Amino acid sequence: MKSNTKAASIGILLVILSSAPPALAFDVDGFRSGMTYEEAKQVISRMAPQHTLFYEQTSIVWNTDQNLATSLRSVSFQQDGPDGVRRLAVYHKHLPSDFSRFFALVKSFRDRLGMPMEVLATPADPAKEYSQDMVTMAWRAQEEQIAVKYRPDFLIIVYTDFSICPDLKRYAP
């Protein structure tokens, strides 16, 4: 009798797990990984952007004020599955560059996700147009990667969902 109850419980659990919607990799500022191009356009329009550039269903770039270094945002889309629908896979968010803000972001992600999986220091190289040193820290949680990039003139957070774009490198500086 107990083995039948246990088997039934396992069967019910498998049905529940297989019918549950997939967990979203990221949900930030109204952008959810997997949302469509049109859904993202609606979110952007509510932000009252000053300038918006649309790139043939592959990406959208916009800013919310005159200072591009602190208000530039972009979303990128990848074709997901046989239905051919392009889904939101990457969200870039520029913030005011300040080391204390960078430190606070790193602490917040570290408290939530643990130690970063990657820490990269990119030295300044005028030949490659890197005028200043840059530090990047990246965390992964399942199929999501969060990268925080800092140098004195910018601070960027990049959210990437690899379940939608598995061909992207796991870290893209």
| Cβ partners under 8 Å of residue 139, min gap 6 | 109, 110, 113, 114, 116, 117, 145, 146, 147
Question: Does residue 102 carry a pLDDT above 80?
Answer: yes
Q: Are 37 and 52 in contact (CB under 8 A)?
A: no
| Residue 105: pLDDT band with limits 50, 70, 90 | very high
Per-residue pLDDT reduced to its tens digit, 116-140: 998 988 887 777 666 788 899 999 8
Name residue 117's beta-bridge partners: none
Per-residue pLDDT reduced to its tens digit, 76-90: 888 766 677 888 889
| Cβ partners under 8 Å of residue 163, min gap 6 | 22, 25, 33, 143
pLDDT at 173: 43
pLDDT at 81: 65
Q: Which residue has the higher pLDDT, 31 or 67?
A: 31
Tell me the pTM: 0.76
Q: Kindly report the average pLDDT of the chain as a whole number.
A: 78
Q: Which residue has the higher pLDDT, 28 or 11?
A: 28
| Residue 159: pLDDT band with limits 50, 70, 90 | very high
Question: Does residue 112 carry a pLDDT above 70?
Answer: yes
CA distance 71 to 76: 17
| Cβ partners under 8 Å of residue 145, min gap 6 | 138, 139, 158, 159, 160, 162, 170, 171
| Cβ partners under 8 Å of residue 44, min gap 6 | 52, 60, 62, 73, 75
Most confident range, picked from 8-22, 27-41, 154-168: 27-41
Domain boundaries of the chain, sorted by first residue: 23-161
